Structure 1
Amino acid sequence: MKSEEGHSALTPRVIVTLYLCVGMLWLGAQAGVLGYFDVSLNRQSLRWQIGLFIVWLLATALIALWFMQRKARADQRGRETAQELELVVRHAPAGMARVHVGGAEIVWANAKLAGWLGCSVESLRGQDFRVLVPVNDQDDVALQLQRLLDGSTDYFQVLRQCVNAGTGKVTPVLCTTSRVAASGVDGPVALVCVLQDLSEMVSARNAMMRSETMLRLALEGSGNGVWEWDALEQRLNFSTGMSALLRYQGQDLAREFDFHQRLHPEDAAGARAQAEQALEQGSMLVLTARLLCFDGLYRWFRARGQAYKDESGRLIRISGLLSDQTASREADERSRLASTVVDNTIEGVVVTDAHSRILSVNHAFTKLLGFSEAEMLGKTPRMFKSGRHDKAFYDAMWASMHATGHWQGEIWNRRKNGEVFPERMSLSAVKDANDKVTHYVCMFTDISAEKAREQQLEFLAHRDTLTGLPNRSQFTRMLGEAVELSQSTNRRMAVLLFNIDRFKDVNDSYGHSIGDEVLRHVSVQMQGALRHGDIIGRLAGDEICVVAQSICGRDSAVDVAERLMAAAGQPWTTPDGLSVVVSVSAGICLYPDHALTADDLLQGAHAAVYGAKARGSNAWCFFHENMTQAARERLALEARLRRALELGHMRLYYQPQIDLATGRVVGAEALLRWLDPEEGLISPARFIPVAENSGVIGPLGLWVLGEACRQGQQWRAAGLPDLAIAVNVSLHQFLLTDIAGATAEALNKSGFPASLLELEITESALAEKPEEALAVLNRLRELGLRLAIDDFGTGYSSLAHLKRFPLDLLKIDQGFIRDIPHSADDMTISSSVIALGHAMGLKVLAEGVETQEQLSFLQQKGCDYFQGYFCSRPLPAEDFTRLLEKTREGQPLVAVATAG
């Protein structure tokens, strides 16, 4: 400011006065010099001198004026610049202050700094410089200030927060203190503090830190790892999440990880090719491959990355993400497998939305119903309704769905061609995390063939396949109902049993096919001659039985018998052109004259028919008291049977059971024999009925069970191959004794494994009381036994119940095997039984196989096992032991054909 005042004193007036003074001095000086040297000037010379002086004076005056104007303009520009500078400083976005060098007090500050501190500019003047630096940094600032003053540094910086005294607002700033030097002056003339607002920088840094934190949390939460390949330093850098992904437990993953070495051999070539292509094209790198993790297991990973290059095209780095795809790959594989299974299953599958609109169907659906997938999409399953079910059926189905989320049962639906067919259907609801139904899945199987088999087997269970008449079990049930009706109505009735005379001669002379034709012809003729309400059935062989209800007496019974005998004796011609005439004999037993129960009526009729045959052909005979001799013989036989059991006269014979696939012995059926010291072997057909009717069957069955287990364990102890021992269980033993407890005791006592013991229960035993039978079978199953149904097809059983029983084996009665291959009906029945058994998950064994033709037929139909005379008769234990020793090394007992 002093230099500006000095320059401003040289005004034009001052300059002119100075020039006049200088001129006068110059003229005086010139006159003095001339006088001293005594030089006189003429007028001309004087004028020249004066003129020269004037020229000089004007010239120098003009030059001085030019410099003065230039100086004035420079001063004007300086003042304008100073004003502009002051304006800029005053309104600068940074806080600024000038500090006195000597006292370190603030000389001047701008409004911005005052605003941050919440005070006026005037109040800052004279304050100590240290108000601008943090209290904690006072000592350090004093040191830095000393270094600044002595020239060791040109500036120093400190961070601080300016707090507004009025509002409390905090402004973070960077305070830079520098010295101001002047030319020719030793040391600084002033200190300048510039405070830069860091609010936006701090906010940006905080935002960046939040973003980094959020990104790190997102990466950690997603399970992804971050990787970077530094091409310049040839080094891999990994995020912390990579260690968890690669199951790494060490400290330096980047040093120990070699991407190429850890690639699965099957994925290595493809992965390298993809990486090279991405680098060449500068495109995004996306590859999926298996990597060997540090726990020794291969896992699927997906790597995504981007290459970065400089201006010259040189690769700088590649960075990206790595994610574990193992779970998703496995889920995709399971989904693909499930989709493949669903599409290739034989069951129809329908998926609908929550409103029952069809979303997808599988191939089996289109095949079973005849609709294409395009025809089904968006439709509802209501279009398949058959009309066979009422509203209550569907209400119950949906009530189950809403209560349990599942329904399973049988339903009839309609194909595209209008055909109605039965299905076994399973309907399930699919729910989301909020337990809300999102989809329904329906699976169904066409059970038309199964229903046909059931109907056929239901027919077989009730009807004789040869004649179509009710079979023995059905006829016995109907006879029992007729007896109850007669008792309730106090009416008389007659049971008439017919035998075809010399029927054995017909079979022997003309063959079984003609014998079957005779039976069919006689049954048809007799059916045509029946009165309304009478009952007819075939019991066995050539035994045809009739119940004549509501008869008046003996004469009425004779009229019925003679009418039926006449009808059966009508001449006829076989399809082969053979003329045949047969006759029948009849035994008649009256209710209530001769017997009061169904069993007694049948026994009486049997006894009477023997009396009729004794009279010759085409005869009839009433039951009479003399025929009770048979009953007395049965009582004597019962007493002898009890003694035989006590004296140890009972024996078990064993018939081998053969695996049809290998010809090897896999089991043996234990068959009871009575070795009487006087009569020798007594047939089971003679004493078993007596035992069942007298109650001896109970202790007799216990002995058989214990002896079979003892013998089986003895064979095992001798080192012979393990084989299953099958033991027959009678109806009385099965339902009226603790068969499960007795079996457990026999197994414990003998040590024989339960898994090798098979109990055979007759079909009639299961049909008698199905619920009780199911409970007993479940108790036996808990012991670990095998369970078989014996003589299948000869009893009266419900397939609905049969499917519930926990069975392992189904045995075809020998009556269906005996006439194979001559009887087409028996072949059909046997084939159906085999198919049914396998459909129920059971093994099938055929009894009574006696010929190679029968064996070949059974093997062709897929039967699992057989037994019969073709292999071996039932043998005593000693002989059966020798048979087992011959096959000890697994040699087949029977040569069977193998599939080519």
Structure 2
Amino acid sequence: MNKSTRRPISILVIEDDPGDLGLIRTNVRLAGLRSMGQDDPVIWASTLADGMAAAAVSKPDVILLDLSLPDSSGIATVEAMRATAPAVPIIVLTGQDDHQLAEAALHAGAQDYLAKGQLFQQDALGRAIRHALVRQKLESRLRLFDAALNAVASGIMITDVTAAITWANPAFTEITGFTMSEVVGRNPGAMLNSGKQDRRFYEGMWQTILVGRVWTGELVNRRKNGSHFDAALTISPVTGGDGNIHHFVAVMQDISARKATDERVQHLAHHDQLTDLPNRMLLSDRLFQSLAQVRREQGTLAVMFLDLDDFKPVNDTLGHDIGDLLLKEVALRLRGCVPRNSDTVARLGGDEFVVLLAQIDQAADAAVVARKILTAVMRPFVIGPHHITISTSIGIAVYPQHGDEVSGLLKNADTAMYHAKKAGRGCYRFFRELAETTRA
């Protein structure tokens, strides 16, 4: 050890033989070990009880422990000392070279084992002390890392190159529902596979990590109880000194709550809060998409603009709470009138609704739906103690006859609705009929 790299240490020697103590002091001096402020770093205790008291007071860096003391002997001596100074490395000293005893001492918590006859062999004691201090520092760091890994909220697992799990932290078992004994040795891909990702997804993942690159992505995993959860996953390859990949470290977060919140925010941004129907923004988006499709296929679609008749008196006489409940019931009936999932019922605001029939064969198909809506809305609504009867006026614009753009179709359907109002309410009108009437 270079003098510039030596640091002052204290060595607690628990030894009842003064002659052996002298040998130890000589070897410590030859090894160049020194203490703060004095040459001799050795603190001496001749019994286990005195040694335990000295350890508590002096806080030594290392303990040299004889297994044969006046008040204790054997492995019990190591166990007692380890309980007193759990963070201090212990080097066991015995008068015989007993490998079974050495192994038992190591299992009991000793860092190293040295027969007294080896003290003068090639700086054996000095090397044992230095190595014990280095190992203790590494073990302390490992314990810190282990505590940190076990405390984090993210699930962490380590696999070998065959994708067999060798270790997982408590968060991983909490997220997945599998215990540690259930995950070790298993393939996480098979264990957590929800069926939501196809083979190409996993092939892309493996192609990335097998060439030594980090893979990051999101997927749906399956818990032990069969339920699914959204996960953000990062997999990092770990290479050895030979440059080959030996392990993979995966860090997983359960992002189900975040995804649900994001989806809820998106839903609220595109749906009417009262009726949960698509709002004007989502309607426009769907109308753009439907127009693009019917243009490609040279098909037909219809936009129906609805306004409830005499809705204002309901609000004025019964109150806005009843009016809101009425609008929710109207929305439910309108949903029941559209023939396909691809069709859209939207609320623009107030008592105005729009129905998009994304694909029809002819304009008469829109008339069939309009008559169905008129009948459904005119049936009495029972809201609390109130029996409410209303009707609706409907204007219809058909692509491509009455417009070929979103704004034009909505405007023409709105215009047709006002003419339905003028025609007596509770009826429907096509935009083309208006043009024919004007010409006449």
TM range (shorter): 0.5 to 0.7
| 1:349 counterpart residue number | 156
Cα separation, partners in 2 of 1:224 and 1:556, compared to 1, 3 Å: closer
| 1:547 counterpart residue number | 356
Cα separation, partners in 2 of 1:552 and 1:581, compared to 1, 3 Å: same
| 1:578 counterpart residue number | 386
| 2:205 counterpart residue number | 397
In structure 2, give the amino acid aligned to 1:432. Answer: G
1:518 is paired with a residue whose SS is helix
Superposed, 1:398-797 pairs within 5 Å as 398-453=206-261, 456=264, 459-460=267-268, 463-464=271-272, 466-487=274-295, 493-530=301-338, 535-548=344-357, 550=360, 560-574=369-383, 576-592=384-400, 594-610=402-418, 612-613=420-421, 617-618=425-426, 620=428
Deviations 1:833-878 (A, max 9, x none): xxxxxxxxxxxxxxxxxxxxxxxxxxxxxxxxxxxxxxxxxxxxxx
CA distance in structure 1 between the aligned counterparts of 2:413 and 2:236, rounded to whole angstroms: 58
> For the aligned residues, what is the CA RMSD?
5.1
CA distance in structure 1 between the aligned counterparts of 2:381 and 2:319, rounded to whole angstroms: 17
1:369 is aligned to 2:176: yes
Unaligned ranges ≥5, structure 2: 12-17, 44-53, 95-122, 436-440
Of the three residues 373, 378, 399, the one matched with 2:185 is: 378
- Report deviation, 1:403: 1.3
- Report deviation, 1:402: 0.8
In structure 2, give the amino acid aligned to 1:400. Answer: T
Superposed, 1:222-241 pairs within 5 Å as 238=29, 241=32
CA distance in structure 1 between the aligned counterparts of 2:260 and 2:65, rounded to whole angstroms: 65
Of the three residues 51, 57, 75, the one matched with 1:269 is: 57
In structure 2, give the amino acid aligned to 1:495. Answer: V
- Report deviation, 1:483: 3.4
Cα separation, partners in 2 of 1:333 and 1:515, compared to 1, 3 Å: farther
1:439 is paired with a residue whose SS is strand
- Report deviation, 1:600: 2.0
Superposed, 1:244-323 pairs within 5 Å as 254=38, 269-271=57-59, 281=69, 321=126, 323=130
- Report deviation, 1:556: 7.2
Q: Tell me, yes or no, if the aligned pair for 2:65 and 2:93 is still in contact at 8 Å.
A: no
Cα separation, partners in 2 of 1:335 and 1:541, compared to 1, 3 Å: farther
CA distance in structure 2 between the aligned counterparts of 1:386 and 1:374, rounded to whole angstroms: 21
CA distance in structure 2 between the aligned counterparts of 1:557 and 1:447, rounded to whole angstroms: 44
CA distance in structure 1 between the aligned counterparts of 2:140 and 2:422, rounded to whole angstroms: 80
Q: Tell me, yes or no, if the aligned pair for 1:301 and 1:323 is still in contact at 8 Å.
A: no
Q: Tell me, yes or no, if the aligned pair for 1:227 and 1:238 is still in contact at 8 Å.
A: no
Q: Relative contact order: is structure 1 or structure 2 higher (C-alpha 8 Å, sep ≥ 6)?
A: 2
CA distance in structure 2 between the aligned counterparts of 1:429 and 1:493, rounded to whole angstroms: 54
Q: Tell me, yes or no, if the aligned pair for 2:344 and 2:355 is still in contact at 8 Å.
A: yes
In structure 2, give the amino acid aligned to 1:579. Answer: H
TM-score (normalised: structure 2):
0.63
Q: Tell me, yes or no, if the aligned pair for 1:347 and 1:443 is still in contact at 8 Å.
A: yes
1:497 is paired with a residue whose SS is strand
2:284 is paired with a residue whose SS is helix
Cα separation, partners in 2 of 1:505 and 1:339, compared to 1, 3 Å: farther
- Report deviation, 1:374: 2.6
CA distance in structure 2 between the aligned counterparts of 1:453 and 1:346, rounded to whole angstroms: 19
CA distance in structure 1 between the aligned counterparts of 2:156 and 2:245, rounded to whole angstroms: 18
1:403 is paired with a residue whose SS is coil
In structure 1, give the amino acid aligned to 2:332. Answer: V
Cα separation, partners in 2 of 1:516 and 1:342, compared to 1, 3 Å: farther
Deviations 1:633-657 (A, max 9, x none): xxxxxxxxxxxxxxxxxxxxxxxxx
Q: Tell me, yes or no, if the aligned pair for 2:89 and 2:133 is still in contact at 8 Å.
A: no
Structure index of larger Rg: 1
In structure 2, give the amino acid aligned to 1:583. Answer: S
| 1:104 counterpart residue number | none
CA distance in structure 1 between the aligned counterparts of 2:58 and 2:38, rounded to whole angstroms: 23
CA distance in structure 2 between the aligned counterparts of 1:419 and 1:275, rounded to whole angstroms: 53
Cα separation, partners in 2 of 1:353 and 1:443, compared to 1, 3 Å: same
| 2:48 counterpart residue number | none
TM-score (normalised: structure 1):
0.34
Q: Tell me, yes or no, if the aligned pair for 1:497 and 1:609 is still in contact at 8 Å.
A: yes
